[in-house]
Structure 1
Amino acid sequence: MVAYLERYAGELSRDGAEIRTGARVGGVTATDGGFTVRLQDGQSLSATALIAATGSFGHPHLPALPGQETYTGRITHAACYRSPQALAGRRVVVVGAGNSAVQIAYELAEHSRVTLASRAPVRFVPQRPLGRDLHFWFRLTGFDRLPLRRSADPPASPVLDPGRYRDALRRGRLDRRPMFARLAGEEVEWADGRRERVDAIVLATGYRPHLDYLDPLGALAPSGHPRHARGLSSTHPGLGFLGLEWQRTPSSNTLRGVGSDARHVVRGLVARLPRRNVAQGARRGD
C-alpha cells in the first residue's frame, strides 16, 4: 500500500501536479472566479474548482452518553486506540457492533475483561467465502458499482469474520450485552438495572465527514454532511466531493471505488463551469 501511494504521487508529480504535504486548510471562501483556500500557515490558494477529498474518517463521532459528566473512568474513541497494553488488566466496555468494535474487543480480551455493548446484535458475514476475500466477490459481481443509497439511520455494517470472532462470542471470550443505560461515577448501569465498576470505555461509534473548512461557504448541512448529489455540490457549481461513504456506490470510500467517482466528479465540474473559467483555470494550473 505504501509503495502504491508513493508511485501514485510520483506519477502525479511527473504530470505537473503540485503536491503540498502538511498544508492544513483553515477555511474556504467563494470568490467571483471560484474559491480562495486559506491554509493554516497563512498562505492562500485560488482555484476555479475545488474538490474536497478529505474522506470519511477524519472526524471521530463521540456521542453523548447519559451520565457522562459524572463518569470517573477513561473514555476514548477507536481512532485513538493503538494497542491493548494500555488497558491491560482493566474492566473495559467497547461500544459498537461494527468491524472496529469487534476487532478491538477481541484483541483486548487477551489482556482485559471486555464487554461489547451495542443497540443491536452483531451481524457476521464470512471474510473469505469459497476461499476468496469478500471484497473480491464485491468487485467480481459488480456489487461495488451498484447505485445504492444508504438510509438516513443505517444499521452497523456486518462484521467480516475470518472465523474467530463469532466463535469468541459463542465461547464466552467476548461478552456482548445491550447498550448500557447510563454512567454514574465509576460505574456503568446496564439495561437490566445492574451496576458495575468499569475502568474504561472505548467508543467504536464511527466517523463523520471532516469538512469543517467548508463551513464559511454554507456548503454543509447542520449535521456537518455536505449538500451534494453523487459528489457534486448542491450549493456551489465549482465544488465537488470525493471519498464520502456511499457517495455513489457501496465502494465510494475505498481505493477501488474512488477512481470511478473521481471521473464522475471531474466530468460534472467541467460541464457545470463556464468554458472560459475552465480554460483560464487550466492555464493557471488551478
Structure 2
Amino acid sequence: MSIHTESVLIVGAGQSGLAAAHAALEAGLRPVLLEAADRAAGSWPHYYDSLALFSPARYSSLPGLPFEGDPHRYPHRDEVVAYLKQYAAGLVRRGTEIRTGTRVIEATADGGHGFVVRLADGQEVTVPRLISATGSFGRPYRPALPGQESFTGQILHAADYRAPEALAGQRVIVVGAGNSAVQIAYELAEHATVTLVSRAPIRFLPQRPLGQDVHFWFRVTGFDRLPLRRADRPPTGPVLDPGRYREALRSGRLERRPMFARLDGEKAEWADGRREGVDVVLLATGYRPNLDYLAPLGALSGDGRPRQAGGLSTTHRGLGYLGLEWQRTPASNSLRGVGADARYLLRKLAPVGNQAAST
C-alpha cells in the first residue's frame, strides 16, 4: 500500500470518520479509513437495544445522504447502523478506501514529513495528514465510588447495558443525570427496583416546545452552530423529555435521590444513614476520548485528552480530530453536527510536508 501526498488517513469509520471522508473527497483529497471493527458503523451496533436518535431524521443526516422515510421520526439504533453502512458504500463508490478489521496500535512523527501509523498486523503507514475519529465508546468513564472495593454486587457501565430483562427483579442504582441515565432508569423501572442518583438535580428540556421538535428551534436560532468557550460548556446537558420522564419522577414511578454516601458490602449507605441492599450499580457517567494510540506522539494531555482547538491539533501540524464532545458547537459529536466540523477541519488541515509517503 502506498499513501499519496494528497491523501488523508482517518482512524475510525463511524459517523465522524465517514463525515471526514466525505469532506476529504469534496476537498479533492484521497481518504483512507481504518476501522478496527468488521463494519463501518462505529459504536452504534454496541449501544443499548432501545436507543433512538434524540433528533428527528430530517436533522440527523450526514452530508449528501438524507435519511429515508418519515422525516419527523426518531431513527432507532439499527436504522442508524444501516444508514451508516449505506453511507460508507457510497463513499467507496466515489473512491474512498475503507479497511475494516484494521486496528491502529500507535502513531508517531516521521521526521517532519508526516506520521507513521503502526497497525496490529505489523504494517506501517506513513501519511502527511492524520484524522482521529475514534470516538469515546471504547473508553467509558468509571468514576471511583466510595466503598466500591467492598461491594459484593455488580458495578456496570451503560456501555455494558443492552436490555432491561437482564437485570429483571434486581435492586439497581443508576448513577447519572444525562439522557442515557434517565432513559435506562426509566425502562429498567418496568423490570427492576430502580433508584436514579445524581449529584445535582436533573434538568429537563421539552422535546417538542410549541409543537415543534427542539432541534427545529436549534436550527432556527442557530444554537447548533453556536461556538462556545470551554468555560461555557455544561458538565451535563439537559435531558430531552417527550413528556414521560419528568412525569415518571413526579408520580413516583421512578425515584431520584442525591448521590449515596458509600457502598458497603451488599448495601448502599445514604447521607442520612439509611442502608439498603443493592444488586447492581449502573454507571451512566459518560465517556472519554479513546485516543491511546496517539500517546506516543505526545499529542495528548496528562488525562488522555487531545490538545486541540476546534479539532486542529495544537501540537502537530497535519493532525486533526472529529467527533469530540463540544469540539466546536453543541452538536459536534452528533450526526447532525459532525458534517460541519468535518468541512471546517478539512479546510484547515495542512499536510506536514510535501514529500510522497508510503508503507
TM-score by length of structure 1 reads 0.92
Q: Is the partner of 2:97 in helix, strand or coil?
A: coil
Partners of 1:189 and 1:235 lie apart in 2 by 46
Residue of structure 1 in register with 2:294 after alignment:
214
Whether 1:178 and 2:258 are equivalent positions in the alignment is yes
Whether 1:69 and 2:149 are equivalent positions in the alignment is yes
Whether 1:144 and 2:224 are equivalent positions in the alignment is yes
Q: CA RMSD in A?
A: 1.8
Residue of structure 2 in register with 1:253 after alignment:
333
Residue of structure 1 in register with 2:97 after alignment:
18
Partners of 1:155 and 1:238 lie apart in 2 by 30
Partners of 2:338 and 2:143 lie apart in 1 by 28
Q: Is the partner of 1:116 in helix, strand or coil?
A: strand
Are 1:125 and 1:161, in contact at CA under 8 Å, matched by a contact in 2? yes
1:1-286 equivalences in 2 (<5 Å): 1-32=80-111, 33-151=113-231, 154-270=234-350, 273-274=352-353, 276-277=354-355, 280=356
Deviation at 1:251, TM superposition (A): 0.7
Deviation at 1:267, TM superposition (A): 1.6
Partners of 2:272 and 2:155 lie apart in 1 by 22
CA-to-aligned-CA distance 1:92-139 (integer Å, 9 cap, x gap): 100001111111111110011110110011111111122322223212
Partners of 1:194 and 1:139 lie apart in 2 by 47
Partners of 1:72 and 1:109 lie apart in 2 by 22
Are 1:74 and 1:199, in contact at CA under 8 Å, matched by a contact in 2? yes
Deviation at 1:273, TM superposition (A): 4.1
Q: Is the partner of 2:99 in helix, strand or coil?
A: coil
Partners of 2:244 and 2:212 lie apart in 1 by 17
The one-letter amino acid of 2:91's match is L
Q: Is the partner of 1:263 in helix, strand or coil?
A: helix
Q: 1:116 to 1:2 in 2, by over 3 A?
A: closer
The 10-residue stretch of structure 1 (11-20 or 210-219) with the greater mean CA deviation from structure 2: 11-20
Q: Is the partner of 1:136 in helix, strand or coil?
A: helix
Partners of 1:176 and 1:14 lie apart in 2 by 50
CA-to-aligned-CA distance 1:140-181 (integer Å, 9 cap, x gap): 321111111343883321111111111111111111111011
Q: 1:165 to 1:72 in 2, by over 3 A?
A: same
CA-to-aligned-CA distance 1:177-205 (integer Å, 9 cap, x gap): 11011111111011111111101100000
Structure 2: which 5+ runs fail to align? 1-79
Deviation at 1:72, TM superposition (A): 0.2
The one-letter amino acid of 1:141's match is T
Q: Is the partner of 1:122 in helix, strand or coil?
A: coil
Partners of 1:150 and 1:121 lie apart in 2 by 22
The 10-residue stretch of structure 1 (38-47 or 26-35) with the greater mean CA deviation from structure 2: 38-47
TM-score by length of structure 2 reads 0.74
Are 1:149 and 1:246, in contact at CA under 8 Å, matched by a contact in 2? no
Are 1:56 and 1:245, in contact at CA under 8 Å, matched by a contact in 2? no
